[in-house]
Amino acid sequence: MENDNSTVVKEFILLGLTQSQDIQLLVFVLILIFYLIILPGNFLIILTIRSDPGLTAPLYFFLGNLAFLDASYSFIVAPRMLVDFLSEKKVISYRGCITQLFFLHFLGGGEGLLLVVMAFDRYIAICRPLHYSTVMNPRACHALLLALWLGGFIHSIIQVAFILRLPFCGPNQLDNFFCDVPQVIKLACTDTFVVELLMVFNSGLMTLLCFLGLLASYVVILCRVYGSSSEGKSKAVSTCTTHIIVIFLMFGPGIFIYTRPFRAFPADKVVSLFHTVIFPLLNPVIYTLRNQEVKASMRRLFNQHVA
């Protein structure tokens, strides 16, 4: 790979999700409605957890942070995509593209690590209940939170550092509705084989290993739960099932996009749409709908403001 990092391209043209005006209008309306309904729900989850003294357990602390991460993640792609649906020319500057790419992987990497932390929390709560209050004390929870933010930053800055070293001298058309590693790398005016391998290792392998590790941990937890006769058995199974659903929603599209060589597939844009817009907003809602304590707290909060 050449070391010349001179960049001539100052902006990228986004080809968008589809070229059909009718499909664009339909997707615009559906995503706007979804966005306006689900996004306030995420902020309601955060408000509920912050305002209810009964929701101080580490599980709810991490759930509140998941809602914050997912809401922040959805702001990276969705608003600009909605604006671009109404624009004739969809253009993003080189700096804007790099910034979008950085925050996409910063928050996405942080969320992946947060799911690992939440799995660890459930493992201690179910398999080592006598040690739970000692291990998952407030100081440890904040240290884990700091670690996952740092991990997301390191993961993302590695991606950006490699891309900034690549020369871009044309063409400048990105066949997507946002800036991401696979499409941006393909526009570089140099051999990108080594960079692609490094990116697959940094994003793809990390995503796959986290996914397999999380599945294995929940299998262990569920085996432990089914082998016990405790009163909270059904609640533990429900919580773990919810976590597994979110793991598939979070890591499934990531594995599809980042664990293979960077060549285009027809399903890439649809998978990316769910990965960057739909699933991040749904994750906290899925947790909440299956958590009786949070739902009860929301009802109390609503009744207090109505009364």
Give pLDDT tens digits for 152-194.
999 999 999 999 999 998 788 988 899 988 889 989 998 888 8
Return d(Cα 214, Cα 210) in angstroms, integer: 6
Return d(Cα 282, Cα 286) in angstroms, integer: 6
Query: Residue 228 corresponds to which tokens in the numbers above?
Result: 């016990």
Q: Which residues contact residue 120 at a Cβ distance below 8 angstroms, ignoring those fewer than 6 apart?
A: 144, 217
Q: Which of 155, 165, 163 is nearest to 201 (CA)?
A: 155
User: Please, which contacts does 88-92 make with residues 24 or more away whose CB atoms are closer than 8 Å?
Assistant: 89/13, 90/13, 90/14, 90/15, 90/16, 90/177, 91/11, 91/12, 91/13, 91/14, 92/11, 92/12, 92/14, 92/179
Return d(Cα 288, Cα 245) in angstroms, integer: 13
User: Taking the model in full, what pTM does it have?
Assistant: 0.88
Query: Best-predicted range by mean pLDDT among 189-198, 256-265, 274-283?
Result: 189-198
Question: How is residue 97 annotated by DSSP?
Answer: H
Give pLDDT tens digits for 49-76.
888 888 889 989 998 998 899 888 888 9
The domains of the chain are located at: 11-299
In the CATH scheme, what architecture does the domain 11-299 have? Up-down Bundle (1.20)
Give pLDDT tens digits for 244-261.
888 888 898 889 888 876
